Amino acid sequence: MPVTDRIPVHTASPYTVTVGRNILRESGRWLSELHAPCTVMLVTDDTVNALYADTVDAALSAVGFRVLRFVFSHGEASKTMTTLVTLLEYMAENALTRTDVIVALGGGVVSDLAGFAAAVYLRGISHVTIPTTLLAAVDAAVGGKTGVDLAAGKNLAGAFKQPLGVLCDIDTFATLPLSEYRNGMAETIKTAMLCDDALFCVLEDTDTCDLSAAVARCIRYKAQVVAQDEHDRGLRQLLNFGHTVGHAIEQCSNFTLAHGQAVAIGMAVIARAAVQRGLCETDTAKRLVRTLKAHGLPTDNPYSVAELTAAALRDKKRHGDRLSLVVPRAVGNCALHDIPAEQLAQWITEGSIE
């Protein structure tokens, strides 16, 4: 199959992320190398169902899997306990056993929800992820964080559950609405800031950017981080660059600003504040802001410091009266920076000045 990369993820139960073009139709052969024939619960949302589920269903059926399908309405509003329970009941009605498999086909909402179902159904069954958004490919579908939202906030119930494998078909991103593509690009730029000046250079040049290579590089980096800190006790928190302020911006906007847009502003705010504090070169912050803008992402904080600080301090990433910010030192080099919570307002003030 036209595979461009196979990326190992060395977690306690190791697996491989297969990246390529036009490989959805190979998903049957791919799964049969990971698991014996069984019943497969193909979980997807209505948008992805209309675009890609028949291809995957046919590929799985052709090699002997019995395919059942669970389709829910697209969007974050479906990432709830209610949808989870409906899915679990559907699996139980259809007598899925511990030797059956869940296939999560879609964006991060699908992989989070289906992965969580795999973690709790019969105390754990196998699942694989087939990301169809750029964001899910570079982040959500790899690394084993699964979960749903509660009324009190995003991702407040969940489990660590690594997939058996991940199949990433770059060509599926061609049907993404521009806004969703940009969401994924924000996380891609975030990863470049964390890991690699070479990747950042690729993203800076919007005309010649090789998406396939960029996605593979991001996955390789995330795989390395997850292998060192599978349960998010330290190093993995680096992946939250831009997210402390970003989540606060999402909340202040009542979730009218997309996650990627909010993270873009969050990264720009922290980078500018880091420059003010002598922690980061001016040129690094300038390159970040220029690249975000080149990809159609916002970089200016539209909210008051007081509003944003209050929202950020409600975030679950706070540890008592301290929080850990991810601070860029240079492109491809960020560090965790522990601050007293009361200093956050000053960081946001400094970072809001362009």
What DSSP element (H or E) covers 149? strand 145-150
Provide φ and ψ at 2, rounded to 5°: -75, 65
What DSSP element (H or E) covers 104? strand 101-106
In the complex, minimum distance from the CB of residue 300 to ligand NAD, in angstroms, rounded to a whole number: 22
In the complex, minimum distance from the CB of residue 244 to ligand GLY, in angstroms, rounded to a whole number: 13
Which C-beta is closer to ligand NAD: that of 171 or that of 350?
171
Which C-beta is closer to ligand NAD: that of 246 or that of 328?
246
What does 244-305 look like in DSSP terms, one character per residue?
Answer: HHHHHHHHHTTT-S-HHHHHHHHHHHHHHHHHHTTSS-HHHHHHHHHHHHHTT---S--S-H
In the complex, minimum distance from the CB of residue 245 to ligand GLY, in angstroms, rounded to a whole number: 16
Q: Letter for the amino acid at 307?
A: E
Contact positions vs ligand NAD (CB under 6 A): 45, 47-48, 51, 74-76, 79, 106-110, 112, 132-133, 135-136, 139-140, 143, 145, 154-155, 172, 175-176, 180, 183
Query: 319: which DSSP letter?
Result: B
Which C-beta is closer to ligand NAD: that of 28 or that of 108?
108
d(CA 64, CA 104): 18
**Contacted by 51, from ligand GLY, ligand NAD, none: CB < 5 to 8 Å by type:** ligand NAD
Which C-beta is closer to ligand NAD: that of 46 or that of 281?
46
Closest by alpha carbon to 218, among 160, 131, 290? Answer: 131
Q: Letter for the amino acid at 10?
A: H
**Contacted by 59, from ligand GLY, ligand NAD, none: CB < 5 to 8 Å by type:** none
Q: Is 235 helix (H, G, I), strand (E, B) or coil?
A: helix
Which C-beta is closer to ligand NAD: that of 170 or that of 273?
170
Which C-beta is closer to ligand GLY: that of 194 or that of 275?
194
In the complex, minimum distance from the CB of residue 109 to ligand NAD, in angstroms, rounded to a whole number: 3
In the complex, minimum distance from the CB of residue 263 to ligand NAD, in angstroms, rounded to a whole number: 10
Q: Which single residue brings its beta carbon nearest to ligand NAD?
A: 108
d(CA 203, CA 310): 33
Yes or no: say if 11 and 162 are a contact pair by the CB < 8 Å rule. yes
**Contacted by 315, from ligand GLY, ligand NAD, none: CB < 5 to 8 Å by type:** none
Yes or no: say if 106 and 136 are a contact pair by the CB < 8 Å rule. yes
**Contacted by 236, from ligand GLY, ligand NAD, none: CB < 5 to 8 Å by type:** ligand GLY
Which C-beta is closer to ligand NAD: that of 11 or that of 183?
183
d(CA 352, CA 303): 9
Contact positions vs ligand GLY (CB under 6 A): 139, 143, 145, 232, 236, 239
